[in-house]
Amino acid sequence: MSAPHDLAIRGGTIVTASDRFRADLGIRDGVITDIASRIEGAKEEIDATGLMVLPGGIDAHVHLAQPTSDGTVMADDFASGTRSAAAGGNTTVLPFAMQVKGTSLRDCVTAYHAQAEGQCYTDVSFHLVISDPTPQVLGQELPALVRDGYTSFKVFMTYDDLVLNDAELLEVFEVARRERALVMVHAEGHDAIKHMTRRLEEQGKTAPYYHAEAHHQIAEREATHRAISHAQLTDVPVMIVHVSGRDPMEQIQWAQKRGMKVHAETCPQYIALTRDDLKGLNMDFEGAKYVCSPPPRDIDSQNAIWEGLRDGTFEVFSSDHCPFFFEGSDGTGKDNPRARTSFKWVPNGIPGVETRLPILFSEGVSKGRITLERFAALTSTNPAKLYGLYPQKGALVIGADADITLWDPAREEVITQERLHHGSDYTPYEGMQIKGWPVRTILRGQTIVLDGVVLGAKGFGAYQTRGTSGAMA
Ligand SMILES: [Zn+2]
């Protein structure tokens, strides 16, 4: 007879990336210590009868408290962003420590840690963003940071203050290969977007809707193929993030069929929204609530994304949570004097860290498009593997952190701004009907959210140093 458990989760159905089975889970000191048909004598018990017991959600793509080029303040800091994440069934999030051009990457990472310290409700770990690949950054700072556990970083093929040219991309890819870091690519063709933007503005087409035309799927397809080609030339695995539609997805499949190590991520906005949402009520600023890059596409692309989620083209489903305010002169809406002159000034990004899992569960699992096992893989196990957190995170096995989300597959809810915990003053998913809801979030054995009520303490969420990406194996 083993020592008593601190906590037993009893009577539920355990779901992993590969299996589902009826068993009890025993937890001691924040770690899973037993999985058995019957566990008795724990200090505390949770009755999970009728519930699904899944690995806690890992959102591998969120933006919190990031500096912006125009000084726009993001709607979430670490406290509100991770509180919102926890309420949405997540136990770990990975935001980006962004290098501000002209500054030291290491200093940016240190400053970002200071912002997170003592503020988090979920566990966190940082990707890096490389915006200024100087010899100092590529030769010294980045290699040292990778060795310290920052084993993934993002680069951008667009945005004036972030874009890397092809020569820079190739150099950065070489560093990723040498240091065994996973490089994440925002693939949209910068010059094509700028050209389209100019032409649209000349025609007086400045409403938020035209963001979706300027950031055309063809520009995303071209950049996706270019990133894949650069990765092939430098022989390095890449992760193409936030893939929006059929065209870029086909480029990824083209590479995967040829055995290239091209990984891909997609997001809720590409299965739950279309470009028509950017029209708002009558080509008005309500459409600004849906401005993100890449933008949502059309029904054909939604169908394509579902195929990719089913067949394994996409291994990761993240939110790309990038929260702004809608109201106010600093917001994305009509009160922002610059945004009124052109869609190109509308801050790019939508909130979604709290709605990611319910949307995929409802639209995917409840509607029979993906299995529960695939859901667990896409939202927790695969990101843990690809970002060096596995098997401490993303796995329900003995010895793993007891990061667990209990789901009621029958519970029906409606997404409303009122019930969410994020900092933004709106949700792009207002009124969406959901079947299947996270009813309890457990982080390292502690219930941090129960029935939408946040019980966890600010600061219980801890920074997680990561190992090498599974993509480098
Ligand atoms: Zn991006």
Task: Say how many domains are in the chain.
Answer: 1
d(CA 91, CA 185) in angstroms, rounded, equals 25
**By the 8 A CB rule, do 295 and 275 touch?**
yes
Model confidence pLDDT, tens digit, residues 134-162: 999 999 999 999 999 999 999 999 999 99
Q: CATH no. for residue 187?
A: 3.20.20.140
Positions of the chain with pLDDT under 50: 1
**By the 8 A CB rule, do 335 and 363 touch?**
no
Which residues constitute the domain of residue 153? 57-373
Q: What is the pLDDT of residue 20?
A: 98
Q: What is the pLDDT of residue 333?
A: 87
Q: Is position 211 within any domain?
A: yes
Q: Is position 289 within any domain?
A: yes
User: What is the CB neighbour count within 10 angstroms for residue 184?
Assistant: 28
Q: What is the pLDDT of residue 3?
A: 59
Q: Is position 299 within any domain?
A: yes
d(CA 70, CA 287) in angstroms, rounded, equals 21
293 Cα–ligand 1 center, Å: 7
Q: Is position 172 within any domain?
A: yes
229 Cα–ligand 1 center, Å: 19
Model confidence pLDDT, tens digit, residues 431-472: 999 999 999 999 999 999 999 999 999 999 999 999 999 999
329 Cα–ligand 1 center, Å: 24
44 Cα–ligand 1 center, Å: 42
Q: What is the pLDDT of residue 321?
A: 98
249 Cα–ligand 1 center, Å: 16
41 Cα–ligand 1 center, Å: 48
Q: How far is CA 360 from CA 307, 315, 375, in A?
A: 14, 14, 8
320 Cα–ligand 1 center, Å: 7
Q: What is the pLDDT of residue 67?
A: 86
321 Cα–ligand 1 center, Å: 10
Q: Is position 464 within any domain?
A: no
Q: Is position 427 within any domain?
A: no
61 Cα–ligand 1 center, Å: 9
286 Cα–ligand 1 center, Å: 22
Q: What is the pLDDT of residue 261?
A: 97
Ion ligand 1 — residues with CB < 5 Å: 186
188 Cα–ligand 1 center, Å: 9
Q: Is position 100 within any domain?
A: yes
Q: Is position 201 within any domain?
A: yes
Query: What is the distance, to the nearest Å, from the Cα of residue 113 to the centroid of all Cα atoms in its chain?
Result: 19
85: left (phi over 0), alpha (psi -120 to 50) or beta: alpha
